[in-house]
Amino acid sequence: GDPRPKVRLGVLLALRRTGDTSAAAKFLEDSDTSVRRAAIQWVGEARLGDLAGAVEKSASRIPVTKEIFEAYLAATDLLAGRNPSQVDQLGSDVLIARMLDDANEPASLRALALRTLRIDHPSVAVPKLEKLLDGDPALRLEALRSLAVRPDEAAQAILRRFTSDPALRFDAISGLGHSAAGSEETRKVLFGLLDGPAQVDAIRSLSGAVDRPDVKDALEKKGGELVAILMGRSAGQPPTLDGWKKVAAEKGNAAAGERLFFHSKGPQCSVCHRVNGRGGFVGPDLSTVGNVLQRERLIESILDPGREIAPMFVHWKVRTKKGDVVDGRVVDEDMSPSGYVVLIDAQGKQTKVKNSDVDERQASKLSIMPEKLVDRLTRQDFRDLIEYLSGLK
């Protein structure tokens, strides 16, 4: 085949139009994810049931992307006899939960299913997640990460147990930020980690309890750039855009950047943004942002988020006739007189307002992304975050 993925994809699409399905199996083995996704979709929509096993093998081949995962879900249902309208309306939650709960599915696909399910779904209840911690390494990690976003004591107790697990401790420590202020047991665990390899994550998790004298004293003894920021002092961050660009010119740690992105006491990136199924819906999905933005543009988008805002992510301020103000991004709208507008704010809360109740509606020139976000980051944090985002492809 041609070495260029776009050419191979073009050939696949041309063959689909001819109705010749003899080459579908070969495309399922392609090294390029976009070609494999198109091949999986082809098999499903053409009802090529004899290729069901090949589809599963293709979908579970590393890397497993969100697009391949979604194509596999749809193809599986089509091959099972559901019509396209049923598949489109199934609200993927049903399909995704079924895949997660099926121990016969490939672990890589079950892990992606776990990333994608909403946190209040029955399939991600704490007892089920705890059982997954004894399984495949990929599933263990995703189960632990699902627990790390839960503030309830049942989840936090499990996280405390896994702070000594070499493969899971960083994510476990990050999740403990939810209970550091209210749990003496959590604080005790985090204090014990202030001198180890996960000390930065432990410091950040303790930041929610910094008003407690014992926490403040422990952090002051540690010192450093992050502690200075948490205490509201100058930490020597660059005062200019060019200064931050010089900081980001040095290579960061992508794994540390990922932890920062999702950390419960970090810059809260994941409240608004999703990466490969995990995170919020307020801002753009960043799963492939490294393909879309060059490193310098990524840096600028964090330092000056209002510089360029895509129309679908404009921040609106709606004032009702009662004087209430609702702001956020428009996620749904019926423009008829009897219709409505639905806005989602920076915390992910959705509010529906009837058009008949609207007194004034204005588009903001500011991004919903916080200004001066870098004021909360150390220089190493910034390098790590840029390294992580630029690698998302």
Which pLDDT belongs to residue 291?
87
Domains annotated for the chain, with CATH where assigned, are: 5-90 (no CATH), 311-363 (2.30.30.100)
**What span, in angstroms and rounded, lies between the C-alpha atoms of 285 and 267?**
17
**What span, in angstroms and rounded, lies between the C-alpha atoms of 347 and 336?**
28
Which pLDDT belongs to residue 390?
95
Amino acid at 38: A
Q: What residues contact residue 79 under an 8 Å CB cut-off, 6+ apart?
A: 43, 44, 47, 48, 49, 52, 55
Which pLDDT belongs to residue 88?
45
Instruction: Tell me the CA distances in angstroms from 387 to 75, 224, 363, 383, one per residue in order.
Output: 35, 22, 33, 6
* CB of 92 closer than 8 Å to CB of 140: no
Tens-level pLDDT at each residue, the chain (393 residues)? 788 999 999 999 999 999 999 999 999 999 999 999 999 999 999 999 999 999 989 988 877 777 888 888 889 888 887 655 544 434 457 778 888 999 988 888 898 889 888 888 888 999 999 999 998 998 999 999 999 999 999 999 999 999 999 999 999 999 999 999 999 999 999 999 999 899 999 999 999 999 999 999 999 999 999 999 999 998 888 988 899 999 999 999 999 999 999 998 999 899 888 898 888 888 888 988 998 888 988 998 898 877 777 777 788 899 999 999 998 888 889 989 899 999 988 767 889 999 999 999 998 877 767 778 888 899 999 999 999 999 998
Instruction: Tell me the CA distances in angstroms from 190 to 180, 245, 377, one per residue in order.
Output: 8, 33, 20
Predicted TM-score (pTM) of the model is 0.76
Which pLDDT belongs to residue 92?
59
Which pLDDT belongs to residue 66?
74
**What span, in angstroms and rounded, lies between the C-alpha atoms of 2 and 26?**
13
Amino acid at 36: R
Which pLDDT belongs to residue 263?
94
Q: What residues contact residue 240 under an 8 Å CB cut-off, 6+ apart?
A: none
**What span, in angstroms and rounded, lies between the C-alpha atoms of 38 and 33?**
9
Phi-psi region of 334 (alpha: psi -120 to 50; beta: other; left: phi over 0): beta
Which pLDDT belongs to residue 105?
85
**What span, in angstroms and rounded, lies between the C-alpha atoms of 204 and 156?**
16
